[in-house]
Copies of this chain bind each other. A is one copy, B any other.
């Protein structure tokens, strides 16, 4: 291993990076002031926004309380887990940075969401009085806060760890990445269940049964729906992208140290710092202008400006920071070229994914139009065409991502894995802009909801908000594609780190065929890895169905017991639905969460390091495809519905519309619960594998070998998973009991 202690020059560079990260936070503060200074709209709007703010904040507070306990347990476990080649200082550092990672992840989600719940009403107000451009600007800047905090905190944590721990920083950063990923996964799953339980529940009762429009204030689930947009699409997504960012940096640092020593750790941080600068430029460039062909034009301008700035600066940095010769075996190019090309691959991948996702989910393109047309033959063909669209488009995305990994592999030679990690960093140089684009979605969605519910909006203003919402739908789909690409690159790199970890732990001993693809036990490992992705998706989807069912029964009950709601003489009890969603999503997130953390523990301790490696490969392969499949099917259904609502095939109220509404409802948990949660899932599992690798090796070979303890740990992990699954199945019995009375209430509530 090359010398990996930081030189004086390195320390200066990392200090500059630290300063850049603080500058990012300062820019975020500047954007906050700009957003908060805007007009808050009419009293009714404020009142509604207030209810959403309170609901969202209450949910996050409860979630953090629950997760806090869990974080403390993991903290203690991390202290127990052995660290290869490091003493108690490293071990404590890793555990503490786990808490920091978790805290930052939570913070990004919390701040992003808090601002989103303030930005939304200001966007509505601006649409009412100022028109499209001011409304767009506020929505995008609200997103910008989220984006800058994401990159700022991620970079800050990584740079700080490197300054404090020097050579042992990679191990400490495993904790940081794990904290971020774990929290993000729980926020993704919990928020995803919340938002879709409310949304699906509201749609089923409102649009389908009671025949009232979306966002109608008579529907008791509307406030919960708006709260959900914030806790799911906003807080969850922000935490998720934060962890993508942090984990990618962590993987790059670990592998950089292996292949190039200190400079290998410094370079990814420099790339990330360049990303901060590029993001600021990109956010400022995203101003709508009169000449824009579509609502997406300023968004694209911001993204591509940011990509170009990154590219130029990274080229300069590669040839300054990296050495021009190094003894990497089989490498066809110099480290300088390697660094630059790898980052370039990542940037190009981001742009390609953006185009691809756009093609498959935009209303104006053939795929969505085909789905829309299939509504003529009813809901079944809408579902089938959406599913085949999703399956096929997942393959194109996988080919792009696979192509990027292979490209990095080809130029990387012996340092192929580092090249893959750098491609991940390249993908994330535009992270600030990507998060801004993404948060733009729920903010616009909420703005429309608030305006609609308040009734204080004229036709012109409503049109502005509809346009913003449509742009937001596309940006949301695009960022999902990019998020899963970062997940695959980061996971592949982490997976390489896992290999290094195992090799270090066996201390040069021959691993033999342990990592061979053709070992039947490794084939089993791969099947198990793919299984977890399927199981996790199934659990998330059924959790939404269950929770949505409870929302439906609550809203029906309110309509039944308070007939005044329908003729607007009574006010529905919004809080009751928010409460159901909060409780259910927190309860439902336990099973998938435990599965993600404990399945690799069971496989690793039970079957060994080889099957665990195969498990990760199976999870990456199946996870990539499943995530894109779910995201794109869902996105296409959503936009097919919008297409019909815009007048195609009979427009609103037609049979075709009813068919696309069914498609959209099926797509909701696909695209906003199960799909995006696969992204942190893959990384959590890779990080768990990385963390337990020394312990598994220790119990399997050498003097501390202890098969009984090893198997016992695996069995306990497996039993906890089984127990959690059994408990969640019990819950479905409870709902079944409640819904046994349903035929009556169904009949009474159908108009």
User: Residue on B with the closest CB to A419?
Assistant: B520
Expressed in whole angstroms, the Cα–Cα distance for A613 and B742 within the complex equals: 52
Expressed in whole angstroms, the Cα–Cα distance for A221 and B549 within the complex equals: 38
Complex interface: chain B residues within 8 A of A412 (CB): 520
Expressed in whole angstroms, the Cα–Cα distance for A378 and B200 within the complex equals: 11
User: Do B541 and A381 touch (CB < 8 A)?
Assistant: no
Tell me, yes or no, whether A537 is within 8 Å of chain B by CB: yes
User: Do A384 and B669 touch (CB < 8 A)?
Assistant: yes
Complex interface: chain B residues within 8 A of A662 (CB): 378-380, 383, 662
User: Do B495 and A535 touch (CB < 8 A)?
Assistant: no
A window 611-658: CB within 8 A of B? 613-614, 617-618, 620-622, 624-625, 629, 649-650, 655
Tell me, yes or no, whether A531 is within 8 Å of chain B by CB: yes
Tell me, yes or no, whether A316 is within 8 Å of chain B by CB: no
Knowing A394-B534, A402-B527, the reply to whether A649 touches B549 (Cβ < 8 A) is no
Knowing A378-B204, A516-B515, the reply to whether A527 touches B398 (Cβ < 8 A) is yes
Tell me, yes or no, whether A261 is within 8 Å of chain B by CB: no
User: Do A523 and B495 touch (CB < 8 A)?
Assistant: yes
A window 146-174: CB within 8 A of B? none
Of the listed stretches A1-9, A58-66, A403-411, A708-716, chain B binds A403-411
User: Do B406 and A521 touch (CB < 8 A)?
Assistant: yes
Tell me, yes or no, whether A545 is within 8 Å of chain B by CB: yes
Complex interface: chain B residues within 8 A of A531 (CB): 394-395, 398-399, 402, 625
Complex interface: chain B residues within 8 A of A532 (CB): 395
| A124–chain B nearest beta-carbon distance, Å | 29
Tell me, yes or no, whether A518 is within 8 Å of chain B by CB: yes
Contacting A381 at CB < 8 Å: which of B204, B515, B534, B621? B204
Knowing A537-B391, A539-B392, A662-B378, the reply to whether A523 touches B620 (Cβ < 8 A) is yes
Tell me, yes or no, whether A277 is within 8 Å of chain B by CB: no
User: Do B373 and A527 touch (CB < 8 A)?
Assistant: no
Complex interface: chain B residues within 8 A of A416 (CB): 519-521
| A375–chain B nearest beta-carbon distance, Å | 10
User: Do B204 and A380 touch (CB < 8 A)?
Assistant: yes
Expressed in whole angstroms, the Cα–Cα distance for A614 and B526 within the complex equals: 10
A window 473-488: CB within 8 A of B? 488
Expressed in whole angstroms, the Cα–Cα distance for A387 and B696 within the complex equals: 36
User: Residue on B with the closest CB to A654?
Assistant: B743
Tell me, yes or no, whether A548 is within 8 Å of chain B by CB: yes
Knowing A517-B517, A528-B402, the reply to whether A370 touches B620 (Cβ < 8 A) is no
Tell me, yes or no, whether A247 is within 8 Å of chain B by CB: no
Complex interface: chain B residues within 8 A of A383 (CB): 383, 662, 666
User: Do A379 and B379 touch (CB < 8 A)?
Assistant: yes
User: Do B380 and A200 touch (CB < 8 A)?
Assistant: yes
Contacting A534 at CB < 8 Å: which of B548, B625, B736? B625
| A138–chain B nearest beta-carbon distance, Å | 34
User: Do A521 and B388 touch (CB < 8 A)?
Assistant: no
User: Do A370 and B534 touch (CB < 8 A)?
Assistant: no
User: Do A530 and B622 touch (CB < 8 A)?
Assistant: yes
User: Do B526 and A617 touch (CB < 8 A)?
Assistant: yes
Contacting A545 at CB < 8 Å: which of B374, B379, B401? B374
A window 340-390: CB within 8 A of B? 370, 373-374, 376-381, 383-385, 387-390
Tell me, yes or no, whether A597 is within 8 Å of chain B by CB: no
Q: Chain A: interface secondary structure?
A: helix
Complex interface: chain B residues within 8 A of A518 (CB): 495-496, 498-499, 515, 613
User: Do B621 and A545 touch (CB < 8 A)?
Assistant: no
User: Do B520 and A666 touch (CB < 8 A)?
Assistant: no
Contacting A388 at CB < 8 Å: which of B389, B520, B538, B621? B538
Expressed in whole angstroms, the Cα–Cα distance for A548 and B385 within the complex equals: 12
Complex interface: chain B residues within 8 A of A655 (CB): 746, 750
| A54–chain B nearest beta-carbon distance, Å | 29
A window 530-572: CB within 8 A of B? 530-532, 534-535, 537-539, 541-542, 544-545, 548-549, 552
User: Do B535 and A492 touch (CB < 8 A)?
Assistant: no
User: Do A524 and B402 touch (CB < 8 A)?
Assistant: yes
Complex interface: chain B residues within 8 A of A280 (CB): none
Contacting A522 at CB < 8 Å: which of B498, B517, B743? B517
Tell me, yes or no, whether A208 is within 8 Å of chain B by CB: yes
Tell me, yes or no, whether A191 is within 8 Å of chain B by CB: no
User: Do A743 and B380 touch (CB < 8 A)?
Assistant: no
User: Do A517 and B622 touch (CB < 8 A)?
Assistant: no
User: Residue on B with the closest CB to A380?
Assistant: B665
| A419–chain B nearest beta-carbon distance, Å | 8
User: Do B398 and A539 touch (CB < 8 A)?
Assistant: no
User: Do A539 and B388 touch (CB < 8 A)?
Assistant: yes
Complex interface: chain B residues within 8 A of A665 (CB): 380, 384
Tell me, yes or no, whether A417 is within 8 Å of chain B by CB: yes
| A398–chain B nearest beta-carbon distance, Å | 5
User: Residue on B with the closest CB to A729?
Assistant: B366
User: Residue on B with the closest CB to A499?
Assistant: B518
User: Residue on B with the closest CB to A625?
Assistant: B534
Contact with B along A197-239 (1 / 0, CB 8 A): 0001000100010000000000000000000000000000000
Besides A392-B538, A655-B746, 18 other CB < 8 A contacts? A373-B739, A374-B549, A378-B662, A380-B665, A383-B383, A389-B542, A405-B520, A406-B521, A408-B520, A516-B516, A516-B517, A526-B526, A530-B622, A531-B625, A534-B625, A618-B618, A621-B621, A655-B750
Closest A-B pairs by Cβ, 3 of them: A391-B538, A380-B665, A388-B542
- Give A residues with C-beta under 8 Å from B: 200, 204, 208, 370, 373-374, 376-381, 383-385, 387-392, 394-395, 398-399, 401-402, 405-406, 408-409, 412, 416-417, 420, 488, 492, 495-496, 498-499, 515-524, 526-532, 534-535, 537-539, 541-542, 544-545, 548-549, 552, 607, 610, 613-614, 617-618, 620-622, 624-625, 629, 649-650, 655, 662, 665-666, 669, 732, 736, 739, 742-743, 746, 750
6 cross-chain CB contacts under 8 A: A376-B742, A391-B537, A395-B535, A495-B518, A527-B621, A530-B621
